[in-house]
């Protein structure tokens, strides 16, 4: 019999990270998301709470920004009427990364959503972690919160 453990070279631990948020934002538990914070509910939020979330997708083998861009491109191709506002290569979590900002209609809200995404890949020996840091609010909320959403997303750092 052989013992294997987590974490190990075969099963590396997930990256640890932190973000800095304003005092009126709180932790929010969400299925399938490693980390999420939301702005405390305010009148006029229209039922949509501005939020920033972090997801980690593990892939076997080596990955780079091309793999990440393909994943994002596949996701965006499934969103009807998405409008890319800007995209650039930049450093994310001390690694080469991508920044994309977009808007898209939200069918159940009846108003469009603004989304800012920073993403990167952290390579381990046998697997890679694709990390997506995503900030969302309605386009109407972005008139007030765009700088805050960007600041939170940009504050992400490895611990």
Q: In this structure, is residue 6 part of a structural domain?
A: no
Q: What is the CATH number of the domain that holds 82?
A: 3.40.1000.10
Query: What percent of the chain lies above the pLDDT cut of 90?
Result: 77
Q: How far is residue 118's CA from residue 96's CA, in Å, rounded to a whole number?
A: 11
Q: Which domain holds residue 145?
A: 17-158
Within a 13 Å sphere around the CA of 44, how many CA atoms are in the beta-carbon half?
Answer: 4
Q: How many CB atoms lie within 10 A of CB 34?
A: 14
- pLDDT for 98-154, tens place per residue? 999 999 998 888 889 999 999 999 999 999 999 999 999 999 999 999 999 999 999
Q: In this structure, is residue 69 part of a structural domain?
A: yes
Q: Is the pLDDT of residue 26 over 90?
A: yes
- pLDDT for 31-87, tens place per residue? 999 999 999 976 655 678 999 999 999 999 999 888 888 888 888 878 888 999 999
- Is residue 124 within 8 Å of residue 63, measured between CB atoms? no
pTM beyond 0.75, yes or no: yes
């Amino acid at each position: 019999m052989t013992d294997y453990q987590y974490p190990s070279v075969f099963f590396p631990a997930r990256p640890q990270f932190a973000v800095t948020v304003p005092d009126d934002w709180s932790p929010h538990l969400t299925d399938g998301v490693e980390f999420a914070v939301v702005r405390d509910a305010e009148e006029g939020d229209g039922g949509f709470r501005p939020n920033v979330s972090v997801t980690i997708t593990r892939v076997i083998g080596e990955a780079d920004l091309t793999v990440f861009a393909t994943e994002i491109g596949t996701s965006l191709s499934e969103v009807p009427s998405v409008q890319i506002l800007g995209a650039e290569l930049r450093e994310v979590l001390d690694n080469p990364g991508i920044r994309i900002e977009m808007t898209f209609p939200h069918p159940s809200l009846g108003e469009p959503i603004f989304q800012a995404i920073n993403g990167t890949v952290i390579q381990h020996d046998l697997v890679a972690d694709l990390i997506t840091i995503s900030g969302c609010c309605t386009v109407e909320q972005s008139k007030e919160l765009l700088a805050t959403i960007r600041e939170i997303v940009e504050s992400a750092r490895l611990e």
